[in-house]
Amino acid sequence: MQPPQDPTQPNASNQPLVQPEQPLVIPVIEEQLQVQRGVIETGRIRVTKQVHEEHQEVTAPTVREEIEVERVPVNQYVDVAPPAVRYEGDTTIMPVLREVLVVEKRILFVEEVRITKRQVQADTTQPVTLRKEEIIVERVTNDPTQPAG
């Protein structure tokens, strides 16, 4: 391998490559890189969903109200009618009055009707249908003879 020539020295033709009074121009080369991306199908999958139903008996507490009616005989004559309705706790008391003819007219307090409301809780069984979903993922082989799509 030969050592590089000095451009200011004469070559084989006795002519210098570059004249001493001219500036020396050296080209600068730069490489650039271009990167491109593309999509390549490497495989396929199939996703399916299945719904499974399961029948079960469910027991849950329920509440209902019952009313108890009690008739209490009083059979007393009163000069003034008692209040139309009164309450003692959960019991509503409604007086029942009747006018009785005698030499003079008087009010007879015949009875009280006592209405008591209470809650009764009981377990009730009812059929229900519960659904459960399941996802299945399968890999599908890549067949190069079939078009992508």
Tell whether 1 is covered by a domain: no
Q: Is residue 35 part of a domain?
A: no
Query: Does 12 reside within a domain?
Result: no
Residue 85 in domain: yes
Q: Is the pLDDT of residue 70 over 90?
A: yes
pLDDT of 148? 55
* Structural domain span for residue 111: 47-140
Is the whole-model pTM more than 0.85?
Answer: no
Is the pLDDT assigned to residue 149 strictly greater than 60?
Answer: no
DSSP of 114-136: EEEEEEEEEEEEEEEEEEEEEEE
Residue-wise over 40-76: b if at least 16 C-beta within 10 A, else e?
eeeeeeeeeeeeeeeeeeeeeeeeeeeeeeeeeeeee
For residues 116-125, average pLDDT: 90
Q: Answer yes or no: is pLDDT of 30 > 70.
A: yes
Query: Would 38 be classed as within a structural domain?
Result: no
Domain assignment present for 28: no
Mean pLDDT of the chain: 82
| Any domain includes 131 | yes
Residue 120 lies in a domain: yes
The domain tally of the chain equals 1
Report the percent of the chain where pLDDT is more than 90.
28
